[in-house]
Structure 1
């Protein structure tokens, strides 16, 4: 939530969250946060900061501010998680979650491009094995709890509703300027934001190897089945095309009443 309480955003990892956070910061202060917005300890309210929780709770439950979130095609989101979190070296210079990558190499036979993530490897084979791991974490919570970067978007989005929130807007990463523009048009911000001049703050870019193949090449029939098992609610609620991994664009409009009804249990 911005310090001015102009707007509330439910973060969904791997869905332009760095850019959205920086836009919110800019809309209050007229400057961007110097560094990764996820590291900011001030300048905006965050659930992770103890002093912010009561303020956010009060605002959300009273629906005092416009509330929104952003979603992404499940096929491209899980691919991005693999290249960034599993193959990539994180901004602290080490592997994501310490022993996670060695565990995946040992238990699932996944390759990650060597020590620096820059070596050649069979991306498609390793990604499909990672999908098995992601499914195991989500379905059986083994060999560990599911990670926020590949757990279903519907799960992230539902916690806001279950705790008394209501979304005014859910938009797609794939139509970012259109969706974020609608949010900014609906709210009053201390500083004007010109979306056309805002840089994209892709904090994960450059962490891992570049994707060597089109999206659809990573998903054979079994991989599609696994993706549907994990993300069927994301496809249905946010109107993405399960049948065609090459089509990243939404196929219909998001029905906010449907989202609140199905995720508010």
Structure 2
């Protein structure tokens, strides 16, 4: 299986397991800058040089040797499941992607037809009932994750614990899991733990939110999108995420973690 979704600086100062919709664009750019003193010109997900990535054949050997030998500090980043699934809906379902097309071709027309979801018209700019459509999207997410139909789960809404676990299965060990909601504090702890080629001042780092502006603006507070049934579905889908990464399942309006992540617990429960 290897280490899918794993990035590493070329200097091998640090290893990072990407979790989609969890500040991965910003983190990737910070890692690139820490080695080269410049940001990658474009979306860091498109970079074929400047970072080791598991998806690049020439990077797989160095990543495997480093991770299995735990030669470098390794970390990942997680996010509140309520805000993450909302972000996925507005970006991937309602939004036009950077190639000018809908995400995954016929996915959105299929959701419109099978689940009655609205997405704001062809350009995602028209008014629609965001709350009703989002709740129908949650039914699709549940179906794809539990029954693997009408399609396999997508990386942007599959559970974070699934992404995090693949790193552990093949012999990886995390030194830190940071929260998107306390990004600067967590990322500073990572930077303080490694030797970088170039100093990184997090106060000067822009947020590289590559999905921003793709879709319609969220019109309501987070909690308005989740009624009792929606909260039940989200807990059913993301139960391990809430428990391991210490988020508040009872209150969608509280995006902040409510406890400390126990790395021993994460390694034990996700290493099965």
Q: Normalized against structure 2, the TM-score is what?
A: 0.97
In 2, Cα distance between equivalents of 1:160 and 1:54: 15
Partner of 2:3: none
Partner of 2:117: 110
TM-superposition CA deviations, 1:95-149 (whole Å, max 9, x none): 0000000000000000000000000000000000000000100001000000000
Partner of 1:6: 13
Partner of 1:224: 231
Unaligned runs of 5+ residues in structure 2 are 1-7
Partner of 1:67: 74
Q: CA deviation at 1:54?
A: 1.2
Runs of 4 or more, structure 1, over 4 Å off, are: none
Partner of 1:93: 100
Partner of 2:147: 140
| CA RMSD across the alignment | 0.3
In 1, Cα distance between equivalents of 2:143 and 2:65: 37
TM-superposition CA deviations, 1:43-88 (whole Å, max 9, x none): 1100110111111011000000000000000000000000000000
Partner of 2:198: 191
Partner of 1:209: 216
Aligned length: 265
Unaligned runs of 5+ residues in structure 1 are none
Partner of 2:271: 264
In 1, Cα distance between equivalents of 2:125 and 2:64: 44
In 2, Cα distance between equivalents of 1:255 and 1:224: 25
Q: Normalized against structure 1, the TM-score is what?
A: 1.00
Alignment of 1:47-66 (within 5 A): 47-66=54-73
Alignment of 1:29-40 (within 5 A): 29-40=36-47
In 2, Cα distance between equivalents of 1:187 and 1:105: 47
Matched, 1:237 2:253: no
